[in-house]
Amino acid sequence: MVCFTVVSIPDNIYFRAFGSSYLSFYAFLVFEAFPIIFEEKRGLSISNDSLIFIGIGIGTSIGALLNIYLDGNTPDIIMKWQNSPPPENRLYGAMLGGPLLVVGIFWLGWTGEYSVLPWYIPALSTLLLGASISLVFISFTVSVNR
């Protein structure tokens, strides 16, 4: 019985689940790099290092607002497709969030290596990281549930 259930699930759900787990892996990998970048290289205390996560929170808010903007044409698409729009219409946020994730990780890694740069240069990359996490998660979740 389980074999038939697994086979009957559409492939795009597996793709989205893999994409979400991939994103979670890289998000937590970057979170583990924060103490190395900000405490060891720049000499911040643990409490000051924790404040860097505010950038992730602000970035996720920006990503949510961007996702609202990118999904602005959804009522028109629903009317056009007679209450059954294609799920690909909701993936515009993920199309923007994927490259933002790559740029944010590259920016954090590149600027985090050099301690001569001020602390806020790599901390600004957390805005891109937070926005990309929010864009991809919202796009994948909404596409799976609808």
Residues with Cβ within 8 Å of residue 58, at least 6 apart in sequence: 127, 130
The tokens describing 27, both together, are: 């998000």
Domain extents for the chain?
52-146
Distance of alpha carbon 34 from alpha carbon 19, whole angstroms: 23
Q: What is the pLDDT of residue 8?
A: 52
* Residue with token string 């979170």: 31
pLDDT-based confidence at 143, cuts 50/70/90? low
Average pLDDT over residues 119-146: 85
Higher pLDDT, 59 or 89: 59
Average pLDDT over residues 58-73: 91
Bigger pLDDT: 72 vs 132: 132
Output helix, strand, coil percentages for the chain, rounded to the nearest 5: 80, 0, 20
pLDDT in tens, 92-131: 888 999 999 999 999 999 999 888 889 999 999 999 999 9
Record the pTM.
0.81
